Amino acid sequence: MPSTSSPGDDPAPGDRASTIVPASELDRLIQVLRRQGRTVIGPTLGDGAIVNDIVESADELPWGWTDEQAPGRYRVGRLPTSEAFGFANPTQSFKRHLHPPRTVLFAASRDHGGGSAEVPVTIAAAESAPPALALVGVRSCDLAALARLDAALTPRTGSRATRSWGDGAGATPTANVDGGPLRALEPFVVAVSCSRPGQTCFCASMGTGPTPGTGYDLALTELVDGGPHEFLVEAATDAGRAVAAELLGRPAGAVDHGRAAAMADRAAAAMGRRLDPDDPPAAGRHLDHPRWRDVGDRCLACANCTLVCPTCFCGATEDVTGFDGEPDLERTERHLVWDSCFGSSFSALNGNPVRASTADRYRHWLLHKLVTWHDQFGTSGCVGCGRCITWCPVGIDLTEEVAALARPTTGVAS
Amino acid sequence: MTADRSGDGEVPAGDDRVSLAVWKFASCDGCQLTLLDCEDELLAVADRFRFAHFLEASSAVDDGPFDVSLVEGSITTADDVSRIHDIRERSAVLVTIGACANAGGVQALRNLADVDVDELRSIVYPSPELISTLASSTPIADHVEVDLELPGCPIDRNQLLEVLAAFLAGRAPNLPTTSVCVECKARDLVCVAVAGAEPCLGPVTRSGCGALCPSVGRGCYGCFGPAEAANTSSLVERLRGDGVDDGRLTRLLHTFNAWAPGFRDQPVAVADPTRSGR
Ligand code: SF4
Ligand code: SF4
Ligand code: SF4
């Protein structure tokens, strides 16, 4: 979110300044953002997959590439058309760019001058300022996830997080304040409506897509319905309007909005999966369901699901000392590193994990994600991106598990 | 006294460095060479540690006792058994380094095979009567108490430096026991198992290598041994479903950590070097 507008000022869709630009204007968009001093992160073709990475020109977008996703399986393929955003979602969300796998929190140095019994210790906050980012191609699921992650990372004073970054889920923010630590980084957000959701997608049933809710500066819809290859550009903030004004196009009309709406309807109908909102609370009542043990037998406790999840926020701290640098090795850094509830140290008390079995850990993960997140943050912890299904090496599918767990007598694997 | 104690090293007066000993059993020396591979940090390490017994670095050795012993290799002879007890007695802290010391190494394949050691010996060596060996290759921890096991084939130099730095600071070393997948995802690598067709042991293998093999497009070989709670049978089932046959599964699991609990109990055929079938 930009600094130039408060989060509450998103206009209703009809009021949004909207433009139609040709596909060739995407490069101008990226260059305008780069000229603002921003590092642009967007989708690009990596090692046999569409990944989010630094992009310096629109040439680096995955034009004409798509993805096929299924439980435990991912492949890229060519499209007959040359779409820039003709895939479901990149391997990882933007989480790693705003909440990296390892962050230095502070450093402590010991000063041995004078040899007194009391050794003074200097504590210094990590000094490096994070780069100004522009996130391009943010899917509606990932847009909703940014808000939920931000809420989860916000220090709380009351019983519930204060949230302000728009949330496509339509959940009611409890307060309209300045947002959490991610929003404080002020990324410029270019959202993109989905045209080709994947077989593991279910954002439509989570209320988080396929069209972006709120929390973006610009929203793009790639019009690929047989007409000209154009983008509908909608600006939601002053910063967004300023960038949109630099693009060469024409004002969008009712016909253009109609094309975009029709594409959104098709995308919503094309999702490969859905999650019945009644199932999670039912699963939460069946804590002794035999399916928990069954999924525990299949689960590898490898943590992929939590690491690719755009809302999983858990971290651990490490105190790091080394050999390089100070000759006396007296400099300690405290690092915040990604952690996962699938590891034994995560719930360790006095050296032993509270959740000893993998079945216990899977149950904790699923019920936090889908049930107790509501109590904690006022939303679901799941935005329906499907990544945990695709990137699970044994293809465990939370929509299938929760549907089985919701029913006490059926769906139990023998 | 064993042969190892006949050295001529002396502790220089006023040397208050930590005394470090490096020991070798049945192994290839690759793990202990990792210490010499710490090129950029080696001088800083030597400032704080005195190499009291490290034959790859110096023939000058002393008798101990040692503050820290790094033990490489597995126990495969009767002499090994007495030697490791002797080393344990002279070491305040004993850290095993590598798959041989932690799990018996690739030489522990003989523990799995239904094969007579005398027969093997006569196949491999021209003068088998000169070779004295036990029927099994076993980890150090089967014989003496081990304070810390550093995994890998070979170990990772950064993990070794971490252990030494942690010892100096009096803190617990940061050595996660979670899967290689955790490092893979932290590095934003594309999963070779899900997005490719590579059998990858990463989900059941302990982290620490920095996801080296997936970073070059290869599946993990499991050289760091089983991760905590390794559910190898579920992964094996998945690989079978993908058409990986038992021969390949056997070769995948029966390497450096074949005898490690978590890998050794897999119901795949055991390769037998002397017989066509079992
Ligand atoms: S739980 Fe799975 S589908 Fe839901 S947001 Fe996380 S990764 Fe996506
Ligand atoms: S559900 Fe899948 S990805 Fe998650 S820990 Fe289990 S095996 Fe790994
Ligand atoms: S490549 Fe291997 S180690 Fe990496 S995430 Fe995939 S299964 Fe795990």
DSSP B45-110: HHHHEEEEE-TTT-S------EEEEEEESBB-SHHHHHHHHHHHHHEEEEEEESHHHHH--GGGHH
- Residue B268 — very low, low, confident or very high, per pLDDT cuts 50/70/90? low
Percent of chain B with pLDDT over 90: 76
Output the pLDDT for position A1.
38
Query: Which pLDDT score is estimated for A409?
Result: 65
Cα distance from A51 to chain B (closest Cα, Å)? 8
Give CATH 3.40.50.700 domain extents, chain B.
Answer: 18-169
pLDDT the model gives residue B118: 86
Q: How far is the CA of B102 from the centre of ligand 3 (A)?
A: 23
What ipTM score was computed for the predicted complex, to two decimals? 0.90
Cβ B161–A323 below 8 Å, yes or no?
A: yes
The whole-number pLDDT of residue A16 equals 57
Tell me the nearest-neighbour CA distance from A242 into chain B, angstroms. Answer: 33
Separation of first and last alpha carbons in chain A: 49
pLDDT grade, residue B10 (50/70/90)? Answer: low
pTM of the model as a whole: 0.90
The C-alpha atoms of residue B270 and residue B250 are separated, in whole angstroms, by 7
Closest alpha carbon within chain A to B239: A394
- Span B63-71, average pLDDT: 95
**Which of chain B's residues have a Cβ under 8 Å away from the Cβ of A67?**
none
Contacts across the A-B interface (CB distance below 8 Å): 138
CA neighbor of A198 nearest in space, from A90, A325, A108: A90
Search chain A and give the residue with CA nearest B165: A322
For position B4, what pLDDT does the model report? 40
pLDDT one-digit tens code per residue, B144-156: 999 999 999 999 9
Between positions 42 and 61 of B, the ones with CB within 8 A of A are 44-45, 47-48
Q: Which amino acid is at B223?
A: C
**Which of A92, A304, A314, A355 should one mutate to test binding to chain B, selecting the residue with the greatest count of B CBs within 10 A?**
A304
Question: Does residue A199 have its Cβ closer than 6 Å to ligand 2?
Answer: no
Cβ B271 vs Cβ B246: under 8 Å: no
Query: Computed from CA positions of residues A163, A166, A170, A172, in that sequence, does the dihedral angle turn out positive or negative?
Result: positive
Mark the ranges of chain A whose per-residue pLDDT is less than 50.
1-15, 158-164, 167-177, 326-327, 410-414
- Which residues from chain A sit within 8 angstroms of residue B207, using beta carbons? none
Cα B191 to ligand 1 centre (Å)? 17
More confident residue, B120 or A379: A379
CB contact, 8 Å: B190 with chain A?
yes
pLDDT recorded at residue A9: 42
Q: Which fold has domain B18-169?
A: Rossmann fold (3.40.50)
To the nearest 10 degrees (0 to 180), the angle between helices A398-406 and A290-298 is 160
**Cβ(A393) – ligand 3 distance below 6 Å:** yes
Write out residues 89-108 of B within 8 Å (CB-CB) of A: none
pLDDT at site B11: 65
Looking at every residue in chain B, the average pLDDT score rounds to 90
- Backbone phi, psi, residue A97, to 5°: -85, -25
CA of A309 to the centre of ligand 2 (A): 11
Q: Which of residues 159-178 of B touch A (CB under 8 A)?
A: 161, 164-166, 168-169, 171, 174, 176-178
* B236 contacts chain A (CB < 8 A): no
Cβ of residue A299 lying under 6 Å from some atom of ligand 2: yes
CA distance B80 to A232: 75
Q: Which two tokens stand for residue A188?
A: 């410029």
Q: What is the pLDDT of residues B21-52, one digit of tens each?
A: 999 999 999 999 999 999 888 999 999 999 99
